[in-house]
Chains A and B, each alone.
Chain A
Amino acid sequence: MTTPLVSLKDMLVVAPMFALLFMSLIPVMIKVFNGNKEPKPFVTVVYALLGVIVAGGLTASLAGMKHVAFSESIVFDGMAVWGSLLVLISGGFSLMLAYDHVETDGRQFSEQCFLMLGSMIGMLIVVMSNDLIVTFLGIEMMSLCLYILVAMSREHTLSKEAAFKYFVLGSFASAVFLYGIALLYGTVGSTQNPVVTAKVAELLANHNQLFYLGLAMVIIGFAFKVSIFPFHAWTPDVYQGASTPITAFMATAVKAATFIAILRLFQHADPATRSSFLAEPKFLSVLSWLAVLSMLLGNVAAVMQNNFKRILAYSSISHSGYLLVGVITAGFAERIESSLAATTVVLFYLFSYTLMTLGAFSLIGILEKQVGHSLTVDDLKGLASRSPVLAGALAIIMFSLAGVPPTIGFFAKFSLFGAAIEQNLYWLAFWGVMTSVVAVFYYLRPVVAMYMAEASETLVLRPAVLTRMTLVLTAIATIIFGLASSPVLEFVSESVLTRL
């Protein structure tokens, strides 16, 4: 055998990561060689965005290719393309928010961008990983950067608390995850996703307790990252404590990357049978309960909040529940076509969730007066008369989050519940619908405050051009991709099909 250890194609696959790394280093280097003088934030953000755009362009140009690289530890397929694009989209917009953020005063912005791009590299690794150890590396890379990013919000005690909480709990979850991988390796003999999934049926039939335990631990590790009940407790505090652009980044990109890793674990080992994990009724019922409780807890708890960021944090917990319904459907589906259809739905839902959440956080960014000023729903009062465009954009996004047609949020939920019903998972679909009704209540509250309440004080709107652009763009996108959801769905489903 004379196959080279690393082929040119392998390098091509990871080229986007190198693009990000290279571009993230430039501002930091400028700073170092310039006597530790911070470059202009605008220069920094241009380099960082350039990196994101180049990475996105490289990824998009490789679309349609299927390649397993680096001794089968990295897989590049349609799901990786779509996942990378989601990560890059949300990362790019978060960078724009970060540039406009009140705190950006030109002291540590180059480091912040470096860390954000570093985190994105970690996410790209997670998205493309074909091996649980590589997934672990990616998750750690992404999380370590995030811990620092959360803590970087200076002069603000909440952010220190949040960072510490996130760090301690996150490390604990990582340890559990790693331990789970070790147990899986012990029972399966490999950490590669396809090998693990292929062996599941056999090991489950033998009632291999260690295997059960290992699998459960891996799932717990993932559940922590995407804040599935009961591993969600850190979410509201961290979301509130971190500076808004970082929160937006965490809420969207982390979720997208991790859910794709989860999908890879649940994929079909053999096109003829359903994903073996979920053929085991124990796993099915436990995961279903986790999904139902996430939807319930997220939506019910959000009703009682007044802080806008905490509302969005709980809403993100509930959306994790909806996404988990999609993942369960993808794993549970008997025929491979239905499974791929459900995978498509999950990816589409992630896309819609990313758009809506970015939009909602950018509005917080515009209204924030100082770091740590917690924006409440009441602070939105009178926005409609001050700035009809921003208010209209946020209203569209809120209606989309609530799932009112013809926005993308409606079509995402529609196809998600559709996929669940096709697999006779009525129970999950029923709870999804019921909790959506609860959600309507708190998604409407900002709309009420903006349009129907009398303004109590004069609002201060920050000029933040890039943030405003993000808000308006995402709002327009929720309508356009809602009305024309068909092309997006087709694109996603084609890219998913390249996995076959």
Chain B
Amino acid sequence: MLLSLIVFMPLVSAILISLLPKENWIRPTALFLGLAQFVVSLVLFAQYDPSTPALQLVEFVPWVPALGVSYFLGIDGISFWLVLLTTFLLPVVILGSWTAIDKKPKGFHIALFVLQTAMLGSFVAMDLVLFYVFFELSLVPMYFIVGIWGGTRRIYATTKFFIYTMLGSLLMLLAIIYLMFTAQEVLPAKQMTANILELYKLDIPFIAGQFLNPQTLLFFAFSVAFAIKVPMFPFHTWLPDAHVEAPTPGSVVLAGVMLKMGSYGFLRFVIPLFPEASEHYAWVFLFLGVVGIIYGALVAMVQPDVKKLVAYSSVSHMGYVMMGLFALNTYGVTGSIYQMLNHGISTGALFLLVGMIYERTHSREIEKYGGLAKVLPIFTILFFIVTLSSIAVPMTNGFVGEFLILLGAFEASMFFGSLAVIGVVLGAVYMLWMFKRMFFGEEGELVSDKKHPLHDLSLREMVVMAPLIVLIFWMGLLPNQFLQYSKVSVEHLVSTKDAYQLSIHTPQPESDAQLAFGMKFFKSVAQAPEAK
């Protein structure tokens, strides 16, 4: 029941918030509920066994039996940290948007909590249709967050975001239906199923070099959906628009978690379901990953708007993630998972910091700043730490991720690996250049404005940043404490990806009795069709 609790607690919280009578109760209640769901998710550490690649904490209830669709949740090393990242960022975001969201706070927090359910659901759903439902559901609250609380071009941005993502995912829907029918024909149960563990058993015909064969087509249908979400060059154009127009908390959740739904999709579905096609077309993704790294960095370099700069840096960073995934070796994949977390933390932190300065000056133009270091010392220090993390300086989290990804990339292809190294340099260039222009040198017009003196960070803002800063160093200095939870699953995936199977972890007898009952139930259901 733990996973259901984690997934649906935010939804219940959203209902609770909608019942609050007074506006000034909303933020404290939301913060409390956000912290509560984070604490509940910490129980995962006690229940999760990192020594096995099998699926854990499984819940299985048939949903639409005629189509083989079920409510099937499970967690393994691939999704473990993403779930925790999601639950961790929510209270941070709520506290970070304490003053930024001044209109309709109730609706905003409801949208935020519903979004949380959708995102958590897509990380733990082990049924393709259930995953699709959560995946699509996440669009709706984000659509409202950008559209209602966004900037001036918010409607353009949010409509583009919605339609772009929907285009990709509908193609995936066709592919999902096709897979379900293939399962009906091929698998011994002779029944339609969307159960991902069953679908892993499929051996989908693949012809190298030809486009019109099932595996290639399915591979690209899934890939386009996730590549838009990641977003991978050349599908990234919705991202800068959405980020610039989104309110700060929206940007944080978008960059921090929603983009990971794309890269997670590659790892959970694309690579294990279509191993031959993944291997055959890996070069496409390595290439586009590198292009994304370099292109994102170059475009970020010339941005006059600091939020847009961070948005393009996202394109660049997600390029690393894609490279790591399609290096298809342990280093690369591990690095990718790590980089997903890093990106969530450091880009999230950058967006929060940009939001903080925007709240003070109502401008994001780099030109208008300069000399901030003298006026806002604490802000400068925090910004500097996050910048270092973003450009992957050793001892910060970014270094571990990028280093592992580059190791993997070199192992997969010397050529693309060396190109990616150029991206590392460029990344340092645009971030440090931006930092120099904003924090040193002549005082800009906004900084020297005597009528509106700038105040350094308040206690609330420091509390928001503190956990992020701590994590940046923690993950940079002690990566093994984090990696040990995903290690077995990644190794299992990489070593057996051609015939990937995921079993269900049977808990020890001394563990939770309810869970054991659930397992028994699952087994009886899973075996029922064979008995006929």
Contact = CB atoms under 8 A, between A and B. Distances in A.
Interface residues of A, number: 34
A429 interface: yes
Nearest to A438: B163
B139 interface: yes
Contacts of B143: 444, 447
A448 B147 CA distance: 7
A452 B155 contact: yes
B166 A489 contact: no
Contact of B144 (A414, A436, A451, A453): A451
A311 to B, nearest CB: 15
A421 interface: yes
Interface string A457-500: 00000000000000000000000000001100110010000000
A426 B129 CA distance: 19
Contacts of B159: 441, 444, 448
Contacts of B163: 437, 440-441, 444
Given A404-B139, A405-B133, A448-B159, A421 B177 contact: yes
A280 interface: no
A406 B162 contact: no
The B interface is mostly helix, strand or loop, or mixed, namely helix
A422 interface: yes
Interface string B153-180: 0110011001100110011011001101
A415 interface: yes
A448 B90 CA distance: 26
A483 to B, nearest CB: 9
Contact of A421 (B154, B162, B178): B178
Contacts of B144: 451
A424 B65 CA distance: 22
Contact of A485 (B64, B167, B178): B64
B140 A404 contact: yes
A453 B147 CA distance: 9
Given A406-B133, A418-B180, A440-B166, A433 B66 contact: no
Chain B, interface residues (CB within 8 Å), range: 20 to 34
A489 B162 contact: no
Interface in B115-164: 129, 132-133, 136-137, 139-140, 143-144, 147-148, 154-155, 158-159, 162-163
Contacts of B174: 417, 421, 426, 429-430, 433
B122 to A, nearest CB: 11
A414 B177 contact: yes
Contacts of A451: 144, 147-148
A422 B177 CA distance: 8
Interface centre among A410, A414, A441 (most CB of B within 10 A): A414
Interface string A425-436: 010011001101
A399 interface: yes
B137 A405 contact: yes
Contacts of A430: 174
9 contacts: A411-B64, A414-B129, A418-B67, A433-B170, A433-B171, A437-B166, A444-B143, A448-B147, A448-B158
Interface of B: 63-67, 129, 132-133, 136-137, 139-140, 143-144, 147-148, 154-155, 158-159, 162-163, 166-167, 170-171, 173-174, 177-178, 180-181
Interface of A: 399, 402-406, 410-411, 414-415, 417-418, 421-422, 426, 429-430, 433-434, 436-437, 440-441, 444, 447-448, 451-453, 485-486, 489-490, 493
Question: Closest 5 interchain pairs by CB?
Answer: A405-B133, A452-B147, A486-B64, A433-B170, A418-B177
Given A433-B171, A437-B170, 14 more contacts: A402-B166, A403-B170, A404-B140, A405-B132, A417-B174, A430-B174, A433-B174, A434-B170, A436-B170, A437-B167, A448-B159, A452-B147, A485-B64, A489-B64
